[in-house]
Amino acid sequence: MSARLDVKKTYKLYIDGEFPRSESGRSYVVADAKGGFLANASQASRKDARDAVRAARSAFGGWSGRTAYNRGQVVYRIAEVLESRRDQFEAELRSSEGVTPAKARTFVDAAIDRLVWYAGWADKIAQVVGGANPVAGPYFNHSAPEPSGVIAIIAPAGPLLGLVSVVAPVIACGNTCVVIASEPHPLTAITLAEVMATSDLPGGVVNVLTGSVAEIAPWLASHSDVNGIDLTGVNDPDLGRTLEEAAAENLKRVRRPGLEDLLATPALDRMTKFLETKTVWHPMGL
């Protein structure tokens, strides 16, 4: 009698709500915490990045046009589905990063709670950063935030909490994004994509690429249909400067490299960096 053989999952990319392999046909080996073979991850190419930007752009109109209340509900739904699959995420964090069970639990808890935190912000950020402006004249004048558009994100190392912490603020405010997952720990990002794909999040709002940051990020930084770039996960200062220079070409909004304490309450600039302020004037009179 032979033991049952596991059916292993193929890890692919997440683009436009689907899970394609890299068009390049490439993959790279992801090691577990002890250096052993864990899985092959798709190695995304320049073309995959461009496909992802196109998907994010197509999704932007619909997503940014939803009511803030509705976006909040969808982000909350991601938290609900993540909670229901928490065992899987704890197991993945332990095998890929080698963290203790208690630590894995802490990260999963924090990731779920962070989604809930941003779900609440969806319909509140405008009330905190917007408002009436008392101009000196007979005019109604009002400012309100609007999402910048398509945001490229280089995710930091924490495969679950890190990814959630950079993606949730961006989408809660109505942006869409292309995120490059942590290069050494990409698998949890794809599992999280499975959660997002089943949480009423429209295809294309979040697109996840796995592969080499140094290879893909420059194409996103120089892409003219990308409106902002979050360099949180960039560890190499030279690469950071190169990306920022490329981003300057079409004046992308840039969040510079550097990661705050992920377990602390996030600062509002994770949202405001990728928000435009729109001010509307209208005369008042008979």
Residues that bind other proteins (CB under 8 A): 68-69, 72-73, 76, 113, 116-117, 119-124, 127-128, 138, 140, 267-268, 282-286
* Three-state secondary structure string covering 70-104: HHHHHHHHHHHHHHHCHHHHHHHHHHHHCCCHHHH
CB of 110 to other proteins, least distance (A): 10
In the bound state with other proteins, the residue whose beta carbon lies nearer, of 44 and 78, is: 78
Locate tokens 């398509």: which residue? 150
Residues 155, 8: Cα–Cα separation, whole Å: 25
CB nearer to other proteins: give 14 or 121. 121
Q: Which is nearer to other proteins, 31 or 128 (CB)?
A: 128
H helices of 140-286, in order, are 161-172, 187-197, 213-221, 237-248, 269-272
- Residue 99 or 116: the one with the smaller Cβ distance to other proteins is 116
* Run of H or E including 281: strand 275-283
H helices of 17-160, in order, are 46-65, 68-84, 86-97, 101-121, 125-129
How many whole angstroms separate alpha carbon 251 and alpha carbon 10? 38
For the beta sheet containing 131-132, the strands, ordered from the edge strand earlier in sequence to the opposite edge, are 131-132, 139-147, 275-283
- Return d(Cα 139, Cα 128) in angstroms, integer: 22
Residue whose CB is less far from other proteins, 225 or 269: 269
